[in-house]
Structure formats: C-alpha cells, structure tokens
Amino acid sequence: MESDQAVMAVHGLRKRLGIVDAVAGLDIAVPHGSICGFLGRNGAGKTTTIKMLMGMMHPDSGGGSIFGESITDKAANVHIRQRVGFVAEVKEFYPFMTVRRMIDFTRAFYPQWQSQWEQRCLKDYELPLEQKAGKLSKGTRSKLALLLAFSRGADLLILDEPTEGLDPVATEVFLEQVVALAAEGRTIFFSSHQLNEVEQVCDRVCLIDQGRTILETDLDELKTRIRKASITFPESVPKGIFDGVEAKGLKVRGRSASLLIDGGREALEARARAAGATSIEFAPVSLKEIFLETVGGRS
C-alpha cells in the first residue's frame, strides 16, 4: 500500500560537530501522507538532522533516502530538492528584494508552482508585498518562507521550526494549511517546540534527545499505551515498592505516588494492591507530560 511506504527514512545517522556527537545514531521513517512532528530539546540534534536530510551536511556514518533517492548522493540530491519544500531554521532572503519580488523570483525556478497556494498564503498571512525582505519581522519572515515552500508543489515538506515568531492567529492558519496539504496527499515533517500544535495535527511523532531517537510512533498509539498511575497507600508509600517497574517520572508525595507507565498496568495494579494500596487510578497523559518525563529529567 502506498500509504504505508516511507517517503523518508534514515538509519543510524551520525554527525560529530567539534567535540559533540550532535546526531548519534538516529532512525526515522516518515510514511507517505503523514504529518510527523519532530521533537526534542534545544541542542537535541534536530537542525543538524534536517541539514543532513537536505544534503546541506554530510553524515559521518549512516544514511537514508527520500523518495528512494540516497540523501548522501550528490547527484540524487538534486532530484530530492525538486520534490521537497524546505523551510530552514534561519529564514533569510535577499534583503534588498521586496516580498513581491522574492515570490516572483522563486516562482521562476519551479514549473510545478501552485498559484492557488501562493494566493491562499498571501491572503491568510496578510503579507506586505512591497516591503523589503531585509526589514521583515521574525514572524513575517516565517510566513514568507512558508508561502515559498507551500507554493512549490512539493510532495514532501521539511520545516524547521516553521511557527517560530508566529502569533496565535498565524499559527492556527499554519495548522489549517498543513491539514489541507496532507489532504492533498503531501507529507509533512516539521520540528517544533509547540507540543499543543503537534498534538493537534500530527499523526506521527519522532522525539529525539542527545542525537538519538527516543520515541518514534503513531501519536494515537502512544496516547493509548502511556498512562499515568496515581497510587495512594494508607500510611506511607512502601520503600522499594516500584523497584524493577518500567516507569518514568516516579514522584512520591506523602502517602501518594505517581508514575508514567508504558504497558504493564495489571502487574503494577497487582503489586500495589498486595502492598495495601487504597486507591489506584490510571489516567491518560498529554504529549507535554510524556515529553517532560521522557527528556526533561536528564542531567
């Protein structure tokens, strides 16, 4: 089935920058038609990964493919770039060009240019056509970068912090546009620190930390699996009761304990009951809690 095919896949990607392993063995697979959120703390290796995907940086080892073409092959990279719309972390344009000129200039390079997307973005983002690109605010630069990427008719969009500097109205516009692009059968891979927007539109998430893949899964599946257990004991939380339990974010406060579990609910329940727990509750968890408990506690 086409929809199950990975449009983009990387395996064992590594890149050392100076003395830091910026990317230290990364695996990602993005299925056709999905909207995949690329998450991680500052310095986790997101931008370095994206630069390698775009052929702007060469991995030390490992590799990957986009539309079946190798990302490390210089000749293939030309083909890849024709089918990928890209928004870089640093949104820079020729400073002396006006917005209108910048759009005209970019349009000339892409025969697949989608003028309906150009019109939609101009209207939705209320871009100042006569302003010089060098004078644009951070948010407006993001909007222009999105217009240029979305209008190209690309099958895959790789966006590095596309909502940076956008106000809530423009962010909502961006999310609506991403949904419309996915409905057209395009695949979107974007990095973001806004977990609520990721939670709203993404069907896949890839969470990395210190250059490694921590989680790569369907968002729905993740939310079905992970539960926050809250357990209360009559006197105090027995010492060592959670030893050997696969859990994250264990907190003990007085007579109560809470922890995030990924499966193993029955075993935990049985163990807690045997130790005399008076109340055991399992609640769904937001992506923010999963993020904080998974990568927030590193030293």
Partner 1 sequence: MIFRIHPGSGVPIYMQIVQQVTHAIESGALRPGEQLPTIRSLAEDLVTNPNTVAKAYRELEYRDVIELRQGIGAFVRANSPAAGQAEAIQKAHRLLAGAVAAMRRLGLSDAAMRRVFEAELTQDREVPEEVTNRR
Nearer to partner 1, 29 or 201 (CB): 201
Chain positions 17 to 56 lying near partner 1, rule: CB under 8 A, are 33-35
| In the chain, alpha helices (H) | 46-53, 74-83, 99-107, 115-125, 138-150, 168-183, 195-201, 219-225, 265-274, 287-295
Q: Is 19 helix (H, G, I), strand (E, B) or coil?
A: coil
286 near partner 1 (CB under 8 A): yes
Chain positions 160 to 189 lying near partner 1, rule: CB under 8 A, are 172, 175-176, 179-180, 182-183
Q: How many CA atoms lie within 13 A of 131 on its CB side?
A: 12
Nearer to partner 1, 137 or 217 (CB): 217
| Stretch 200-239: interaction string toward partner 1, x if CB under 8 A | xxxx---------------xxx-xx--x------------
Backbone angles phi, psi at 269, to 5 degrees: -60, -45
Nearer to partner 1, 61 or 224 (CB): 224
- Pick the binder of partner 1 from 196, 217, 236, 278 (CB under 8 A): 196
Nearer to partner 1, 33 or 45 (CB): 33
194 near partner 1 (CB under 8 A): no
Nearer to partner 1, 27 or 218 (CB): 218
Distance CA 209, CA 45 (A): 7
- Pick the binder of partner 1 from 104, 167, 246, 281 (CB under 8 A): 281
CB of 257 to partner 1, least distance (A): 16
At 211, the amino acid letter reads: G
Q: Is 46 helix (H, G, I), strand (E, B) or coil?
A: helix
CB of 196 to partner 1, least distance (A): 6
282 near partner 1 (CB under 8 A): yes
Query: 85: closest CA among 152, 180, 164?
Result: 152
Distance CA 115, CA 150 (A): 10
